[in-house]
Amino acid sequence: MASDSTGVAIVGCGNIAARYAADLARYPEMRLVGAQDVLPERAEALAAPHGGRVYGTLDEVLADDDVDIVVNLTVHRAHYEVIRRSLEAGKHVHSEKPLALTHEEAAGLVEIAESRGLRLGCAPATFLGEAQQTTLKLLREGRVGPVRLVFAEVNWGRIEAWHPEPDGFYAVGPLFDVGVYPLTIVTTALGPARRVTAFSSVVWPRRTRLDGSEFTITTPDYVVANVEFDGGVLLRLTCSFYVPNGSTRQQGVEFHGDDGSLLLESWHDFDPSVEVRTPGRDPEPVPPLREPWKGVEWGRAVRDLAAAIREDRPHRATGRQAAHVVEILCAARESYETGKPVELTSDFTPPAPMEWAL
């Protein structure tokens, strides 16, 4: 990076982009250089409040020497192509999740980045949140003894009830869209997974958009996966685009060990409750390691990536871990389609704790 600050361009200016832009604009060491979208008016609306440029095409973004990091916020199916082209143009990349829709593509992106000495980061990075980092520290310290079972609940409700364009979400389903969140937290805690067995169903095929038009879904809106880790630890992951999170007590991530259970109320926000439950004792709330961010700080992983480049250290939300999570997702899909367990082969190094969580 040539200047004293890191130049960032956002590609894809949909629902989440404004939150990324607001975070990036707050960081004094970073500059929101501009934005690009297939709908130019969306790029203009995003860039204008921050004094950024509007790019007509991705090629224009990649030709701009002021852009150090491309933040890819495009729809799921476009992730691979945007990331590949950005890396091949010599840009560092942070992408929204998932990294790609096949493990082969995800692994290929990691290879391109590493062969060119570029950084590849990927959401979800909610494991960097205060509640999540507190949970991970308690696990490292053995607070609940050896962990043998993990339960993760992803009841994300009916996308069409709040999003004007739900089709892309239903095309990939809840497993690929939101199952990645707890999978990233759990693999951060436990390391790589080794085997997956899954079941799925289309619970409610006929849906209605906000404009009243109907559509039919074919990708399963309900998935249950059993994920096996080294040492025999088992994760039961439930993903649903039918049951709203607020309509069930089954939510968050639970780590169950020989000496008790560690309950993380949410895998999404940075400020949920963390609680230890020991047989025969009252539940024990655990305060966060520092004052938590309210909700999600979407730019936190991008800021960490930029700092890692400057400090010549590993960044935390890595493409290699994201590619392993994609392998888990693809293995679950293969398992529920074939009715057979699927072995995993990829690996990654779990990220370091945040400095304040050591």
List the chain domain ranges. Answer: 6-126+298-317, 130-293+324-357
Torsion angle defined by CA atoms of residues 170, 176, 180 and 183, in that order, rounded to the nearest 10 degrees? 120
pLDDT of residue 4: 79
- Assess contact for 66 and 53: CB atoms under 8 A: no
How many angstroms separate the CA atoms of 79 and 76, rounded?
6
Superfamily of domain 6-126+298-317 in CATH is NAD(P)-binding Rossmann-like Domain (3.40.50.720)
SS3 (DSSP) at 155: strand
How many residues in total does the chain contain? Answer: 358
How many angstroms separate the CA atoms of 110 and 249, rounded?
38
Helix, strand, coil % over all residues of the chain, rounded to 5: 35, 25, 40
Distances (CA, A) of 120 to 123, 297, 335: 11, 19, 29
- At 236-250, the pLDDT tens digits run 999 999 999 889 988
How many angstroms separate the CA atoms of 155 and 178, rounded?
9
pLDDT of residue 2: 52
pLDDT of residue 75: 93
Max CA pair span of the chain:
63
42-76 exposure pattern, b = at least 16 Cβ within 10 A, e = fewer: bbebbbeebebbbbeebeebbebeebbbbbbbbbb
pLDDT of residue 335: 98
Arch. (CATH architecture) of 130-293+324-357: 2-Layer Sandwich (3.30)
Instruction: Find the distance separating the first CA and the last CA of the chain, reported in whole Å.
Output: 29
pLDDT of residue 148: 98
Q: What is the Cβ-side half-sphere exposure of residue 336, based on CA atoms within 13 angstroms?
A: 20
**Nearest of 147, 162, 157 to residue 251 by alpha carbon:** 157
Q: Which residues contact 111 (CB under 8 A, 6 or more apart)?
A: none
How many angstroms separate the CA atoms of 71 and 74, rounded?
9
Low-confidence ranges of the chain (pLDDT < 70): 1-3
pLDDT of residue 310: 96
Residue 178 tokens read as 């939101």
Q: Which pTM was predicted?
A: 0.96
CATH topology match: 6-126+298-317 vs 130-293+324-357: no
